[in-house]
Amino acid sequence: MKEVFSDVSFLSLKSVEKIEALKDQVKYPIPVQIQQNPDSLKEITVEAIAAGLIKVLAADPSELESVAEFKGLAKDEIQKAYDYYRSLLLMIHPNVETDLSLAGIAKTHAKDYPFAEEILTAVKNIGHSPKSYINLAVLYANESADAANDKRHKDADDWDEKLVKVLHEGLDRNPGNSDILAELGGYHLRHHDLEISYEFFQDSLKNMETGERRKQIEGLMQDMKTQIDQENSVFAAYDQIMLGNEDKALEIIEKFLKAEPGSWEGWYIKGWALRCLERYQEAKDAILQSVSKNPDVGAAYNELAICEKELGNKEMAKEYLSMAVELEEDNVIYLANLSYLYLSEKDFDKARYFLEKARLADSSDAQVMDLMDEYEALSGEKLGPVISEEIHTKAEVEEIEKQEHDAGHHAEEV
């Protein structure tokens, strides 16, 4: 029996004969949650049966396959038993969805997440109401936020995945439901997927009644549309540069920057386009604007280095490339560019240092292979295999030293 039913016993009709109200309703072994002695019939009450049913409905129907009383039954028969348990619980407790929902929400607020998930999953499986899917999604959103605050990013991603899955499951059960669609819109908005968010909000309005919530979403969508149009301008300018149409890219990005002068992306794209047009001083000025708004983009320092090199300022070019490497220490392009600069000055030691780092990052990179040929031709030095680096903690170093000492001591004894 799986752990999910560790505190549940599945009892036959004979075992529950004292429960007169249910005698004629029993079609399958009845799940009963018993806290102490499973053999004690004194503990079997309607409440214990209800608790057992809730436990079953909080699990997937496939979990019943692990129960001894269901061994050998076909999947469709197990599904019938699962559906029967749902109807039996509603007969025992007609208001169970409302009561459990309130309990699950309270447990979510109290951060008792495992218990809240069990309760709210049962509610979802009892009635498949749109609200039940949303309540479960809110629980997962809380768990994701707590994990992100604790820097447990993998856990946060896992909870987000469960959140999206349960909302789409709810949408499959309740096609076109405006509340679930709005929740999906809100999720994608929080994750900055503006276009996807906009589509969900747009779909949610199709069946949403006129009211305050509709007005809020319409206002939100208006702001999102402006932002989406602006972001599309950045992408359009980028595409034009990739196609070699730098003048067209500048035309697009200049319009964008009039509306969004604080955008580091806009200034970066402008500087990149100007650099491609060999207008190096103007490009440098634009990239510096970008860096002033976001100093943590390695590509911006690489662009500045190219501009400074073309303007005859090799020392500044090296400074900027060093900043790019500090931000992205394994970036092959930055490492190779820095090595090239030192190689052009025949500073072979530093050129070799950054070349080895580039080789360590990606020895098969075309730029690295060209750099190796040029280094060998200029330095007259033949390059051997890639030199790897091993980083050890202080404790690891002490352990290595101890092993070497012990080995030496053992050799002396021999």
Residue 265: inside a domain? no
pLDDT tens, 152-169? Answer: 999 999 999 999 999 999
Is residue 191 in some structural domain? yes
Domain that holds residue 4: 1-94
The 3-state secondary structure of 94-124 reads: CCHHHHHHHHHHHHHHCCCHHHHHHHHHHHH
Do residues 287 and 324 touch, judged by C-beta distance below 8 A?
Answer: no
Q: How confident is the model at residue 37 (pLDDT cuts 50, 70, 90)?
A: low
The confidence score (pLDDT) of residue 43 equals: 59
pLDDT tens track for 174-224: 999 999 999 999 999 999 888 899 999 999 999 898 889 899 999 999 888
Whether residues 56 and 148 share a domain: the answer is no
Task: Tell me the CA distances in angstroms from 94 to 99, 127, 233, 332, one per residue in order.
Answer: 10, 11, 56, 65
Tell me, yes or no, whether 119 and 40 share the same domain: no
**Residue 94: exposure state from Cβ atoms within 10 A (0-12, 13-18, ≥19):** exposed
Distance CA 151, CA 130 (A): 32
Structure tokens at 408: 């030496």
Domain-ending residue, one of 37, 64, 94: 94
Structure tokens that stand for 260 in this block: 């969004």
The answer to whether residues 391 and 376 belong to one domain is yes
The structure tokens 């005859």 sit at 312
Please report whether residue 297 resides in a domain.
no
Kindly state whether residue 289 falls inside one of the protein's structural domains. Answer: no
C-alpha triplet 373, 378, 381: angle, nearest 5°: 75
Quick check: is 112 in a domain?
A: yes
Q: Do residues 20 and 106 both lie within one domain?
A: no
Cβ distance 167 to 136 under 8 Å? no
Q: Is a pLDDT exceeding 50 seen at residue 284?
A: yes
Residue 136 has a CB neighbour count (10 Å cut-off) of: 25
Claim to verify: residue 75 and residue 5 sit in the same structural domain: yes
Task: Note whether 154 and 81 are same-domain residues.
Answer: no
CB burial readout 366-394, b (16+ within 10 A) else e: ebbeebbebbeeeeeeeeeeeeeeeeeee
Q: Are residues 382 and 367 in the same domain?
A: yes
Domain count, the chain: 3
**Percentage, residues of the chain above pLDDT 70:** 87
**Is there a single domain that holds both residue 90 and residue 106?**
no
Q: What is the CATH number of the domain that holds 124?
A: 1.25.40.10
Higher pLDDT, 212 or 16: 212
**Residue at 410 is within a domain:** yes
Cα separation values, 304 from 78, 297, 319, 344, 350, Å = 67, 11, 10, 18, 21
Q: Is the pLDDT of residue 414 over 50?
A: no
CB 97 within 8 A of CB 129: yes
In a domain, 300, yes or no: no
Instruction: Tally Cβ neighbours within 10 Å of residue 145.
Output: 14
In a domain, 256, yes or no: no
- Pick from 63, 94, 125: which residue ends a domain? 94
* Boundary residue ending a domain (208, 227, 248): 208
- Tell me, yes or no, whether 103 and 203 share the same domain: yes
Report the percentage of the chain scoring pLDDT > 90.
57
Residues 187, 107 share a domain:
yes
pLDDT over 60 at 15, yes or no: no
Residues 106 and 172 in one domain: yes
104 and 90 part of one domain: no
Is residue 45 classed as helix, strand or coil in its secondary structure? Answer: coil
